[in-house]
Chain A
Amino acid sequence: MSVLLEARGVVRRFGGVIALDGLDLSVAPDEILGLIGPNGSGKTTFFNVITGIYGADEGSVTFDGTDITRVSSRAVYQAGISRTFQRSRLSLPLSIFDNIMIGNHKRLNQGLWFNLVQRAGFKREFEESYRAARTLVEVFEPQLADRMFEPVAGLPMIDRRRIEICRALISAPKLLLLDEPSAGMTHDETAELMNDILLVRERNKNLTIIIVEHEMGVIERITDRCVVLNFGRKLAEGPYREVAANAHVQEAYLGVA
């Protein structure tokens, strides 16, 4: 089995608290991996370590054959990993289009001369990017595609989630990290959002996803495999049904009967 992302013995401490305690985890290309576990078990910390927001105290993370343990968030993004955040981190005063373009950073020409002087070239790139962003948004919600230049601040939670996911997808990453996409949404809204994500993946075959989620229905429906964390360690691993039946997992979630 080939491996896209591999974490070996990752340790991350915050003072006396050990958030990740020698975590080993690997993801195969094209896989959808569910990352579950009780609150505080280290799921989001793991995302933050992968994306370079926190450094790992020990261990290593390899992505697509290169070591990304100690590289910056920028380099992680350049390598092809993008993410969403548990608490939405859109730039609220900016328009839908602007927010999505923040995610497109690596494919936009950032030269001063190009941006300030070569306006014809800039306009071409702008129109291309507009079409790409619009096509992507249409997958999620066709009505939003007509409101590309409205500020995000006025939109309901579900639309903000959609835009956040579009922002992560626009640069065609190899690996998408979804941090609790269902937070703050109803059951039906979550189901709709998941369908849209699967649809995007359908069109774009080589997209690997790691999803952190508390809603087990979502995990059951979309993941190929699950990893259960508890106190920063891997408690169980396997298809959802198998993992859910595991006595240790039930104990971690529900306490000892």
Chain B
Amino acid sequence: MAGDSNKARAGLWPGLAAIGLTTCYLAALLAAEQQDVIIALLALGIAIVVGAAWFGLFDGVSRSFAEREDSMGFFVIVALVALGAYFHEDHFILLLVVTVLLYSVATLGLNIQFGYAGVLNFAGASFFGIGAYTSAVFNTYTAVPHLIVLLIGGLLAALIGSLLLLPVLRTRGHYAAVVTIAFALLFKTFLEVNDVLGGPQGMQVPAMNLSGWSFNDNIEIGDITLSFYLNYFIVSVLLLIVAFGLVRRLERSWIGLNLDALRLDETAASCFGLNIARWKITAFLIGNFLIGIAGALFGMVGGFVGPNNYTFADSLILVSILLLGGIGNPWGLVVATFIVVVVPEKLQTIQEYRFLLYAGMVIVVLLFRPDGLLPRPVRRYFPGWRS
């Protein structure tokens, strides 16, 4: 921006205040159990957000995040840890938060594919499922260390996903999306008829165990009992940090630029030397790798995996998170995952109508904020960098 180099750097305070308030709000929402309290809290949240946007209070916040992203990221981690500590003995809520964290990792993967490279993947849940089945098989039949199993889950998702490369490269836009839908349906049928993988009954997934540290035991420190989900919580936070950092660096590099260029205009991109196939493949594989790792860990968290856990409907949820959060903006994705996972879980009254809720949210967002809740800003290779 012209003259913006004269201004002082954005302050930390607006961002910090936003993180603090959001954390308290989330704690209250997660802890609430009565339906009327939850509905009141949700209404309050929407009112605050709309009001703050109305009075322009988010400008300072977005400036803090744009220019001081590393510090903001650190405080978000602190806030997450605080949430984890606050709910240290509540199995259900920790499971919910872990679900949010792992779905975020998966949508970050989807974001590389669709948000950057423009390759629509409607089989996200299938690749998530490949990860989960990997942990089921490896944890049951082998003694491979479980952290390695997570990596294998990612690799297998990328490998099996590479079956789709040829059709995805040979088709464009909607047609490529149809190929992935076909894959999702084939995948489910394959699992249902395959007895080795448990058929329609699915498989048990043995819990994570890192050199003797068993994740399915509650942690006892003196008189305090910590939920065993706290183990998974820690690993999930770490995984999200790594995935987030990876996506950020990818976007803020020439590779991110290549992906944008080929998404926006393949012909122009190839006139400037871009190898379209190479970068589409790179994005598709890295995306599936992230989705697979998230799925592998999620399988261990849930302890069970079946063909009906990872259907086309779940893939649609992942895509709707992407649309809701703001395609291409990792912060937006994390926020949107919280909304999409937590709201239906807390609002028990609407359980059966949850797809109606998703559809409604997506339509409202597309109508009023076509770029999502937090639209993707212009690329800054180094936040706060001045020439």
Q: Footprint of B on A, CB under 8 Å?
A: 51, 53, 72-74, 76-78, 82-83, 85, 89, 91-95, 98, 101-103, 105-106, 108-110, 112, 115-116, 119, 122-123, 126, 130, 134, 143, 146-151, 167, 171
Chosen A-B contacts, 16 in total, with CB atoms closer than 8 Å, are: A74-B270, A91-B260, A95-B378, A98-B379, A102-B261, A102-B269, A105-B272, A106-B273, A112-B282, A123-B381, A123-B382, A130-B387, A143-B2, A149-B380, A151-B378, A167-B272
> In the assembly, what is the distance between CA of A204 and CA of B351, in Å?
68
Whether the Cβ atoms of A98 and B260 lie closer than 8 Å is yes
Chain A positions within 8 Å of B261 at CB level: 91, 94, 102
Whether the Cβ atoms of A94 and B273 lie closer than 8 Å is no
Whether the Cβ atoms of B378 and A105 lie closer than 8 Å is no
Whether the Cβ atoms of A78 and B264 lie closer than 8 Å is no
- Given that A94-B264, A130-B387, A134-B387 are known contacts, is A102 also in contact with B1, CB under 8 Å in the complex? no
Find the A residue at minimum CB distance from B282: A112
Whether the Cβ atoms of A98 and B257 lie closer than 8 Å is yes
B349 interfacial contact with A, CB 8 Å: no
Whether the Cβ atoms of B254 and A110 lie closer than 8 Å is yes
> In the assembly, what is the distance between CA of A93 and CA of B382, in Å?
19
Q: Footprint of A on B, CB under 8 Å?
A: 1-3, 246, 249-250, 253-255, 257-258, 260-261, 264-265, 267-275, 282, 378-382, 387
For the complex with contacts A106-B273, A115-B253, 7 further pairs of A-B residues with Cβ separation under 8 Å are A92-B264, A108-B254, A110-B254, A119-B249, A130-B387, A146-B2, A147-B1
> In the assembly, what is the distance between CA of A115 and CA of B249, in Å?
8
- Among A94, A115, A150, the most chain B Cβ lie within 10 Å of the Cβ of A115
Looking at chain A's contact residues, is the secondary structure mostly helix, strand, loop, or mixed? helix
- Given that A91-B261, A112-B255, A150-B1 are known contacts, is A73 also in contact with B270, CB under 8 Å in the complex? yes
Give which listed residue, B246, B268, B387, contacts A89 with CB less than 8 A. B268
- Among B2, B249, B268, B382, the most chain A Cβ lie within 10 Å of the Cβ of B268
Find the A residue at minimum CB distance from B260: A94
Chain B positions within 8 Å of A53 at CB level: 267, 271
Whether the Cβ atoms of A116 and B254 lie closer than 8 Å is no
Find the B residue at minimum CB distance from A123: B382
- Among B265, B272, B282, the most chain A Cβ lie within 10 Å of the Cβ of B272
> In the assembly, what is the distance between CA of A109 and CA of B265, in Å?
21
Whether the Cβ atoms of A116 and B253 lie closer than 8 Å is yes
Chain B positions within 8 Å of A167 at CB level: 272
Chain B positions within 8 Å of A72 at CB level: 270
Chain A positions within 8 Å of B271 at CB level: 51, 53, 73, 76-77, 82-83
Whether the Cβ atoms of A77 and B273 lie closer than 8 Å is yes
Find the A residue at minimum CB distance from B270: A73
> In the assembly, what is the distance between CA of A180 and CA of B134, in Å?
57
Chain A positions within 8 Å of B282 at CB level: 112
Chain B positions within 8 Å of A95 at CB level: 378-379
A54 to chain B, nearest CB (A): 11
- Among B246, B261, B380, the most chain A Cβ lie within 10 Å of the Cβ of B261
> In the assembly, what is the distance between CA of A147 and CA of B3, in Å?
9
Chain A positions within 8 Å of B260 at CB level: 91, 93-94, 98
Whether the Cβ atoms of B246 and A116 lie closer than 8 Å is yes
> In the assembly, what is the distance between CA of A105 and CA of B258, in Å?
8
A255 to chain B, nearest CB (A): 35
Find the B residue at minimum CB distance from A131: B387
- Given that A93-B264, A94-B264, A149-B378 are known contacts, is A82 also in contact with B253, CB under 8 Å in the complex? no
Find the B residue at minimum CB distance from A99: B261
Chain A positions within 8 Å of B378 at CB level: 93-95, 98, 149-151
Find the A residue at minimum CB distance from B274: A105
Whether the Cβ atoms of B257 and A101 lie closer than 8 Å is yes
